[in-house]
Amino acid sequence: MSTEQKWVYNFGGGTSDGDASMKNLLGGKGANLAEMASLGLPVPPGFTITTELCTLYYENDRSWPKGLNKMVDQALAKIGEVVGKKFGETANPLLVSVRSGARASMPGMMDTVLNLGLNDETVAGLAKLSGDERFAYDSYRRFIQMYSDVVLGVSHHNFEEILDTYKEENDHILDTDLKAADWKKVITAYKQEVEGHLGKPFPQDVREQLRGAIDAVFGSWRNDRANTYRRLHNIPESWGTAVNVQAMVFGNMGESSATGVAFTRDPSTGENAYYGEFLINAQGEDVVAGIRTPQPLTIKAKKAMGETSPSLEEAMAETYQELIAVFQKLEKHYRDMQDIEFTIQQGKLWMLQTRSGKRTAKAALKIAVDMCDEGLISEEDAVMRVEPGSLDQLLHPSLDPDAPRDQLTKGLPASPGAASGMVVFNSDEAERLAQDGYKVILVRVETSPEDIHGMHAAKGIVTARGGMTSHAAVVARGMGRPCVCGAGDLRIEKDGSAFTVAGRSVAKGEQITVDGSSGQVFFGEVKTVQPELSGDFAKVMIWADKCRRMGVRANAETPLDAQTARDFGAEGIGLCRTEHMFFDPERIVAVREMILADSRADREVALAKLLPMQRSDFKELFEVMSGLPVTVRLLDPPLHEFLPHSDSEIEEVAKSSGIDAGKLKLRAHNLQESNPMLGHRGCRLGVTYPEIYEMQARAIIEAACEVSASGAPVTPEIMIPLVAQQKELSFLKERVIAVAKAVFAEKGMSLDYMIGTMIELPRAALTADEIAVDAEFFSFGTNDLTQTTFGLSRDDAGTFLPDYIRQGILERDPFVTLDPDGVGALVEMAVEKGRKTRPDIKLGICGEHGGDPDSIRFVENAGLDYVSCSPYRVPIARLAAAQSALAILKK
């Protein structure tokens, strides 16, 4: 035996073969049971079959390797010694539970069998031993049902039907109405049912039972639910599950027995107070089932909840104290808030599980800060304890959990936060009403860049179409507006008078409430509560900033967004999209005039009108960002985005702006593109119409000069988009430099500025060494880089991505989390090549990924200098960047 591998690890009876560090081998549950047993805590003895054996099991075509049988027998014998019982012995039978337990928690995904070891003989022994015949036969029928369902493939519906029929025929209503004699009859019927299905009787051999249950748990690692869960949570199939076989303890052995769950601190608020509930004379499943109302653990909680039934502190004072001692021991040991399962069997406390407890963002912050104050963990540990993405909950208003609500529909939670307002279907109207002081919710089939002003004016946005990365979603997140996208059952009436959803009609002007965090849309106004950025939040942020290597900037165009970003701790602007400034009603006229110009001279006349407007935009922005760097991207979208499209829109624009409708139509037609994403945009506009970029460069440099006179200057970083080749950049850089020189000469002053480029095309990444000759900085535009690397249009992917997710072909939406193997490889390549040419090149990311914690981890590893994200994600990025830096230090 000594040369064989160890596949079975015992725990309990004061010793353990394993410990908490062995999660990969023993699974989370098994490792923690071993750890608790080593700590001397009262853990029912048992053993864990390793995850390695699971892998071997599958490699061996689902069969047991030689030697495993013997190891299991020896381990069973050891349990028997500890508890003084014997597996399969009629007089004093050992009963066991068989549970799965993978490296990562997969709640409810895999199978469990309880009360194993019961058969027609041992059940009689159990009855005698417990002195409770009803308990014994109830346990046996539960076992037959569970085992048949899980191991033998006879669905539990069959047994539920038998039980229902029996109760009906015998005028019983509740299970508790059945006595031992009743259960015996039910058991006979159950066994007949099994034999009817399988053509052979329910197994009476307890070893056969155990073997079947272990096989079933291993098998459940690859059941559909588990496969799906793994896919959704990125858990590799190769990890496998462990199997935990453990002596049964019973919380349903009378009034001195109980079962419960507890958290060592409040998982909702983080308060340092025991939190949990229990049921007397019950099994774990009864707590979950919710038939009886569980009682609180402590007197304090009981009072707070206005409960009348006694708390555990009162009902079982001694055991309660024992439990508290366990809590304290575990928290000190694990240095984290614990989520615990326990059972009290006839006055004796047994610990069934411990693990780090899930918690709200608010609780995570408080627990981290408190534990740091208590000296339990370091500041760095505290930073690592808060899930960056969870902060989103704290940064936006949310629905008052107590407020009544009337749900209309549910779409995608596209931009978090909650808001109420009157329904408006048109962006101009939204803006008008907002100016008049109304709160409005913009409801659209989908949004386009022409809706920017309406979205800005609205308190919230709802669209019928589009996904998490649709225009509406991206812009709303950028603006911090709550947004629900892709509410597919919502139909807007053609005349724009109302929308209907599931048969209900909501008219223009009626109140609705949008919850962008859940994707729900409610009728009427639902009360909201404002976010509280508590002292804990601020403390953790300060600690995070100490650990952070990368800078965090924001993507912002308006002074308001910039101010929000700065308040959230942004250290500059990483992406100012100048075209967003072009949609202002006053400006769009001049923009269209420029687009319709027949000659460079005419275009320059129109550009001259835009210059003072752009300059004042930049001045406002630079004032807000005083002392910080601001990256301004020159015009990026294709020109047709600024023109009306439908005939009626064209007529309207022509009428209101005095432009000839025919000319407008012709130009709009000529500018149409088959693939606008790959068309005449970005620096390609700059090459065709250098005067546009020259105007923008002039506006930037003039604004910087004027602002620098009155305070700490900004460093403008002029960014040329969509560069595919060095020559594009050098051609345009030359022109920008000439403009800057001219402005400096006119103003008799000078200031620092930089010229760089987006890396958003594969070719730019592949030739980054050449591009870095001219670029003083790179900003990775990972939205477009993902589109081109995958050959995947963000706007069109919605039609087939669901199939991809369903088939398991795509694990994560690459527009949400940066694809490390394709897009990431290009980023790494560009970083290496860029630094080779220009060692001090500044490197950042300004795609949507800049606010995604997993992507931030990737770019920390890739060695970028900063991330830039929407203002409301700045705190998330600060925390994620800190965690990523710490993770590297720990490597």
| Residues found near a second copy in the complex (CB under 8 A) | 673-680, 684, 687-688, 722, 724-725, 727-728, 731, 760-763, 766-767, 770, 784, 787-793, 795-797, 799-800, 803-804, 807-810, 819, 821-823, 825-826
| H-state helical runs in 709-822 | 726-747, 762-766, 768-771, 782-790, 801-806
Q: Give 878's strand partners.
A: none
Looking at beta carbons only, is 557 or 819 nearer to a second copy? 819
Mapped onto helix, strand or coil, the DSSP state of residue 635 is coil
Looking at beta carbons only, is 587 or 763 nearer to a second copy? 763
Question: Considering only CA atoms, which of 564, 528, 510 is closest in space to residue 869?
Answer: 564
User: Cα–Cα distance between 142 and 728 in angstroms, integer?
Assistant: 74
Would you state the structure tokens that stand for residue 284, as one six-digit string? 């774990």
Q: Provide the 8-state DSSP code for 876.
A: H
User: Cα–Cα distance between 735 and 689 in angstroms, integer?
Assistant: 12
State the Cα torsion 183-185-188-193 to the nearest 10°. -90
Query: Least separation, in Å, of the C-beta of 816 and a second copy?
Result: 16
Distance, CA of 23 to chain centre: 23
Question: In this structure, are residues 544 and 848 in contact, taking their beta carbons and an 8 Å threshold?
Answer: no
User: Cα–Cα distance between 742 and 720 in angstroms, integer?
Assistant: 20
Looking at beta carbons only, is 207 or 763 nearer to a second copy? 763
Query: Least separation, in Å, of the C-beta of 753 and a second copy?
Result: 24
**Residues tagged active-site:** 471, 846
Consecutive H or E run containing 777: strand 777-780
Sheet with 490-492, strands from edge to edge, namely 490-492, 498-501, 504-507
Residue type, position 238, single letter: S
Question: In this structure, are residues 717 and 753 in contact, taking their beta carbons and an 8 Å threshold?
Answer: yes
With b meaning 16 or more CB within 10 Å and e meaning fewer, what string describes 235-260? beeebbbbbbbbbbbbbbbbeebbbb
Looking at beta carbons only, is 549 or 680 nearer to a second copy? 680
Query: Least separation, in Å, of the C-beta of 721 and a second copy?
Result: 11
Query: Least separation, in Å, of the C-beta of 476 and a second copy?
Result: 19
Looking at beta carbons only, is 386 or 823 nearer to a second copy? 823
Query: Least separation, in Å, of the C-beta of 239 and a second copy?
Result: 19
User: Cα–Cα distance between 584 and 576 in angstroms, integer?
Assistant: 16
Question: In this structure, are residues 866 and 844 in contact, taking their beta carbons and an 8 Å threshold?
Answer: yes
User: Cα–Cα distance between 318 and 663 in angstroms, integer?
Assistant: 89
Query: Least separation, in Å, of the C-beta of 666 and a second copy?
Result: 14
Query: Least separation, in Å, of the C-beta of 182 and a second copy?
Result: 49
Query: Least separation, in Å, of the C-beta of 454 and a second copy?
Result: 21
Question: In this structure, are residues 842 and 754 in contact, taking their beta carbons and an 8 Å threshold?
Answer: yes
Sequence length of the chain is 891
Q: Provide the 8-state DSSP code for 311.
A: P
Question: Considering only CA atoms, which of 681, 631, 639 is closest in space to residue 788?
Answer: 681
Q: Which is it for the CA torsion 89, 16, 287, 308, positive or negative?
A: positive
Query: Least separation, in Å, of the C-beta of 637 and a second copy?
Result: 12
User: Cβ neighbours of residue 124 under 8 Å, at least 6 residues apart?
Assistant: 90, 136
The 3-class SS string of 88-141 reads CCCCCECCEEEEEEECCCCCCCCCEEEEECCCCCHHHHHHHHHCCHHHHHHHHH
Looking at beta carbons only, is 238 or 799 nearer to a second copy? 799
Looking at beta carbons only, is 121 or 649 nearer to a second copy? 649
Looking at beta carbons only, is 43 or 729 nearer to a second copy? 729
End-to-end CA distance of the chain: 37
Looking at beta carbons only, is 438 or 790 nearer to a second copy? 790
Query: Least separation, in Å, of the C-beta of 801 and a second copy?
Result: 9
Question: In this structure, are residues 285 and 270 in contact, taking their beta carbons and an 8 Å threshold?
Answer: no
Looking at beta carbons only, is 34 or 826 nearer to a second copy? 826
- What Å distances lie between residue 592 and 630, 649, 689, 750, CA to CA? 27, 14, 14, 33
User: Cα–Cα distance between 426 and 433 in angstroms, integer?
Assistant: 11
Q: What is the DSSP string of 282-309?
A: --HHHHHHTSSPPEESSHHHHHHHT--S
Query: Least separation, in Å, of the C-beta of 796 and a second copy?
Result: 4
User: Cα–Cα distance between 283 and 77 in angstroms, integer?
Assistant: 26
Mapped onto helix, strand or coil, the DSSP state of residue 150 is helix
Question: In this structure, are residues 385 and 336 in contact, taking their beta carbons and an 8 Å threshold?
Answer: yes
State the Cα torsion 673-675-679-680 to the nearest 10°. 30
Question: Considering only CA atoms, which of 546, 657, 591, 629 is closest in space to residue 881?
Answer: 546
Looking at beta carbons only, is 231 or 553 nearer to a second copy? 231
Question: Considering only CA atoms, which of 702, 734, 697 is closest in space to residue 717?
Answer: 697
Query: Least separation, in Å, of the C-beta of 786 and a second copy?
Result: 9
Query: Least separation, in Å, of the C-beta of 675 and a second copy?
Result: 4
Looking at beta carbons only, is 435 or 807 nearer to a second copy? 807
Looking at beta carbons only, is 414 or 722 nearer to a second copy? 722
